């Protein structure tokens, strides 16, 4: 099995401090607050009708409220998560306590047997049988030399070498119960917030009522896209975190949760840091094998297309997914073309002579708005479907952007401030990582010097 050497990405340009960054934060925070107010305002105008996915609930101190059940993924995942809780809790008990009191072989077969029984109860014996048959047939017909496993059901993907490594390390690594309990509290809080949002912000339902959405004022309509993206992120914080809770209780190290999309300017980072397990899978088993050993530009381009084809197969060959993938490829090539251009030493020297670092960061802010806009339109298709995507293209691109009306200039100006905030977050993260590396190096030096002194005393 091939082992991938992980190298840290060296940035080709370090973001300098920006004098007006406080203004950028103030404008961005005010914009987001106003956007959520607009979503709430539009929600108060919306009336649920027969055919809309909704349910009525009595909330303490508030009274009766509709809950928007339009998001099919959350609507189906919520009851499954509650039903799976006792099975996952029992698995965690058997996994941690059974290992200490049972022989290794008996414990291994016991965990496998329990997992099969629990899966039969949660998904029906028929689905369990189909899943086992599929695995047996795949193994028998292809003799996989590379394999992957979903150890915590449905969502958290861990490539098999990493899973195997964690199984060995969990026996020796100390448990940090404080961090685990804080993590559980965080996931519980985000779960409660996700549920609460559905009682007051009906963006999903409004976007399925195309006649209503088309009649909304532009300032209210455009904020529905922001709410849809934010809810998507929040939903997966909970879905991934739910599985990660039990992984942490088992002293495993699941992938980090999805990066907050509200602080990301370039969509290549979302691909790397949203579904980290899926990214690790297609990087390890698709992109790197295609690009190796030369990692030439033609191989990389083919690797990108092959990786995105895999993602398309994963999500399904539907029109909105094809548009989503196509726009993402365009955004990625725009982004990497600019990086390749700036990687040229002569271009860098020309820029350093004529444009200061601070002014270059300002220019980057305007340029990144282009990539960000392409990524946004792609997400409207991915999250809302073809009709929702076409609505945003019609009402924002054709009616405002193409005609160069004032809302377009307002949006790109707000986008510029947002890009600067995203850059500042990246800058602070880089500085923090640099400080941590220095501290680690100093600790290692102290340990080495202490070890040398102790050996001298012994001698």
Domain ranges of the chain: 21-70+172-443
Integer Cα distance of 207 and 129 in angstroms = 39
Burial of residue 48 (CB within 10 Å: 0-12, 13-18, 19+) is middle
Q: What distance in Å separates the CA atoms of residue 245 and residue 238, rounded to the nearest whole number?
A: 10
The confidence score (pLDDT) of residue 141 equals 60
| Tens-level pLDDT at each residue, the chain (459 residues) | 334 444 456 677 888 999 999 999 999 999 999 999 999 999 999 988 888 888 888 888 888 899 998 888 898 888 888 888 888 888 888 888 887 888 888 888 888 888 888 888 877 888 778 877 877 776 666 554 444 433 445 567 777 788 888 888 887 888 888 999 999 999 999 999 999 999 999 999 999 999 999 999 999 999 999 999 999 999 999 999 998 898 888 888 888 888 888 888 888 888 888 888 888 888 888 888 888 888 888 888 888 888 888 888 888 889 999 999 999 999 988 988 888 888 888 998 999 999 999 999 999 999 999 999 999 999 999 999 999 999 999 999 999 999 999 999 999 999 999 999 999 998 998 888 888 888 887 777 777 776 666 666 655
> CA–CA separation, 249 vs 247, rounded Å?
5
What's the CA gap between 304 and 306, in Å, rounded? Answer: 5
Answer yes or no: are the C-beta atoms of 420 and 21 closer than 8 Å: yes
Report the distance separating Cα 351 and Cα 345, nearest Å.
10
pLDDT given at position 9:
60
Backbone angles phi, psi at 56, to 5 degrees: -105, 135
Question: What would you report as the CA-atom Rg of the chain, rounded to the nearest whole angstrom?
Answer: 25
**Which residues does 320 contact at the CB level (< 8 Å), separation at least 6?**
381, 382, 384, 385, 386, 389
Indicate the angle between helix axes 72-93 and 218-249, nearest 10 degrees: 10
Give the β-pairing of 148-149 and 54-59: unpaired
**Whole-number Å distance between alpha carbons of 434 and 457:** 35
Inter-residue contact 205 to 68 (CB < 8 Å): yes
Q: What is the C-alpha separation between 300 and 305, in angstroms, rounded?
A: 9
State the Cα–Cα distance between residues 392 and 442, nearest whole angstrom.
53
β-pair partners for 68: 54
Pull the structure tokens for residue 325: 């993938």
Contact 354, 397 (CB under 8 A): no
Say if residues 271 and 280 touch (Cβ distance below 8 Å).
no
DSSP string, 412-443: HHHHHHHHHHHHHHHHHHHHHHHHHHHHHHHH
Q: Is the dihedral of CA 225, 227, 228, 230 positive or negative?
A: positive
Per-residue pLDDT at 293: 84
The secondary element (H helix, E strand) that includes residue 55 is strand 54-59
Our CA dihedral for 75, 77, 80, 81, rounded to 10 degrees, sits at: -120
What's the predicted TM-score (pTM) here? Answer: 0.83
């Amino acid at each position: 099995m091939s082992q991938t050497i992980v190298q840290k990405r060296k940035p080709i340009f370090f973001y300098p401090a920006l004098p007006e960054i406080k203004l950028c934060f103030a404008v961005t925070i005010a914009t987001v607050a106003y956007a959520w107010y607009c979503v709430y305002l539009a929600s108060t105008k919306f009336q649920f009708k027969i055919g809309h996915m909704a349910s009525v609930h009595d909330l303490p101190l508030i009274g009766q409220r509709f809950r928007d059940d339009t998001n099919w993924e959350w609507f189906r995942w919520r009851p499954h998560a509650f039903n799976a809780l006792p099975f996952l809790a029992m698995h965690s008990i058997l996994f941690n306590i059974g290992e200490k009191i049972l022989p290794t072989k008996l414990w291994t077969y016991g965990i496998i047997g329990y997992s099969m029984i629990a899966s039969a109860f949660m998904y029906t014996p028929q689905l369990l049988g189909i899943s086992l048959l599929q695995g047996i047939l795949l193994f028998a017909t292809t003799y996989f030399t590379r394999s992957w496993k979903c150890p915590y059901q449905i969502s958290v993907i861990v490539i098999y070498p990493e899973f195997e490594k964690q199984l060995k390390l969990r026996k020796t690594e100390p448990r940090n119960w404080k961090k685990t309990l804080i993590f559980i509290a965080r996931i519980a809080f985000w779960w409660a917030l996700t549920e609460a949002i559905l009682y007051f912000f009906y963006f999903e339902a409004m976007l399925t009522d195309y006649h209503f959405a088309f009649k909304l004022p532009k300032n209210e309509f455009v904020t529905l896209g922001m709410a849809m993206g934010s809810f998507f992120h929040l939903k997966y914080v909970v879905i991934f975190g739910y599985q990660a809770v039990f992984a942490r209780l088992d002293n495993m190290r699941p992938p980090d949760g999805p990066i907050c999309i509200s602080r990301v300017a370039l969509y290549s980072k979302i691909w790397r840091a949203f579904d980290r397990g899926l990214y690790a899978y297609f990087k390890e088993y698709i992109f790197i094998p295609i690009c190796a050993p030369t990692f030439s530009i033609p191989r990389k381009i083919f690797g990108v297309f092959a990786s995105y084809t895999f993602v398309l197969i994963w999500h399904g060959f539907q029109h909105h997914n094809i548009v989503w993938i196509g726009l993402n490829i365009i955004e990625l090539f725009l982004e990497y073309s600019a990086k390749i251009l700036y990687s040229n030493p002569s271009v860098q020297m020309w820029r350093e002579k004529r444009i200061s670092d601070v002014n270059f960061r300002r220019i980057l802010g305007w340029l990144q708005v282009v990539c960000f806009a392409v990524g946004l339109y792609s997400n409207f298709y991915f999250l809302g479907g073809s009709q929702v995507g076409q609505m945003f293209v019609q009402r924002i691109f054709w009616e405002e952007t193409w005609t160069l009306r004032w809302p377009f200039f307002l949006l790109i100006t707000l986008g510029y401030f947002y890009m600067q905030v995203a850059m500042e977050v990246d800058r602070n993260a880089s500085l923090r990582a640099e400080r941590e590396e220095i501290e680690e190096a100093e600790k290692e030096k102290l340990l080495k010097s202490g070890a040398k002194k102790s050996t001298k005393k012994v001698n």
